Amino acid sequence: MNPIFKILSNLGNQVTSRIWRLGSATRLFLLTLIYSAESFKRIHLTIREIYFTGVMSLIIIVVSAFFVGMVLGLQGYYTLQKYGSSESIGVLVALALLRELGPVVTALLFAGRAGTAITAEIGLMKATEQLSAMEMMAVSPIARIIGPRFWAGVISMPILASIFSMVGVMGGYLVAVPIIGVDHGAFWSQMNVNVDFRFDVINGLIKSFVFGVACTIIALYEGYDAPPTAEGVSRATTRTVVTSSLTVLGLDFILTSFMIAH
């Protein structure tokens, strides 16, 4: 084959494959929504998954948030000091965490901590034919396996993002007020004046909800679609982190531009 045709053919194959995977993931998402009522009939399954995805991610979220807040406090202070507005450190820390870092870093950590676990678990279930066995017994794997994990991820993400932002603000406070010596009243009052509940807090929650849907459905799809081999599961787990991270960053830009425009 002519090399130019070969390159074009490879490119076309890549694009077709990507579109096919996107369609397949969308189909899984819609099926999950359709089977949601059936999934919620066994609410204990969703509660169990909230424990594994949400509660078990708490430590990494809290520790990361604390350090991110402390770094923001330190970096922000030294930058603001040059302009003589070191009292605005509280605003900087709060806005950075509420609008961007809270939802985005939580989603990235969630993809690494819980997303990989979901993919590996479902991939192994598929490799050991547990999903096929369920179908043989007329039990829908979407309702029984996918649905509870999906809703657990969607519920956990905004909770984790809220905790991240709050702990981050505390970390920023710890560095700015007791360590650097910024005035306690100035720290909180500047924050109160400049942070808007609807625009900053609610928009951050909306972002984390969207990231929760995206990260969880990617993790579920990669596991559900993984080739039933050890190598297939390992590749699917890697793809989960890469795809989730890129999707979160891309969605963040789109959501931010929509939120700023309105």
Partner 1 sequence: MDKTTLDIWVGLFVAIGIAALMGLAMKVGNLTSNTLGET
**What residues make contact with partner 1 under the rule CB under 8 A?**
44, 47-48, 50-51, 54-55, 58, 94, 98, 156, 158-160, 162-163, 165-167, 169, 188, 191-193, 195-197, 200-201, 205
d(CA 260, CA 262): 5
d(CA 228, CA 244): 21
Closest to partner 1 by CB, 162 or 245: 162
Closest to partner 1 by CB, 90 or 223: 90
Smallest separation, CB 250 to partner 1 (Å)? 26
Smallest separation, CB 167 to partner 1 (Å)? 8
Smallest separation, CB 139 to partner 1 (Å)? 21
Closest to partner 1 by CB, 51 or 78: 51
Closest to partner 1 by CB, 64 or 165: 165
Closest to partner 1 by CB, 155 or 251: 155
| Helices vs. strands in the chain: H and E counts, helices first | 13, 0
Smallest separation, CB 191 to partner 1 (Å)? 6
Smallest separation, CB 131 to partner 1 (Å)? 24
The torsion of the CA quartet 118, 151, 213, 163, rounded to 10 degrees, works out to: -90
d(CA 236, CA 219): 9
Q: Return the DSSP state at 181.
A: -
d(CA 238, CA 125): 17
d(CA 135, CA 133): 5
**DSSP of 66-129:** HHHHHHHHHHHHHHHHHTT-GGGHHHHHHHIIIIIIHHHHHHHHHIIIIIHHHHHHHHHHHHTT
Smallest separation, CB 225 to partner 1 (Å)? 29
Closest to partner 1 by CB, 53 or 247: 53
Closest to partner 1 by CB, 31 or 201: 201
Smallest separation, CB 172 to partner 1 (Å)? 11
**DSSP of 7-30:** HHHHHHHHHHHHHHHHHHHHHHHH
Token pair of 48 as six digits: 């169990």
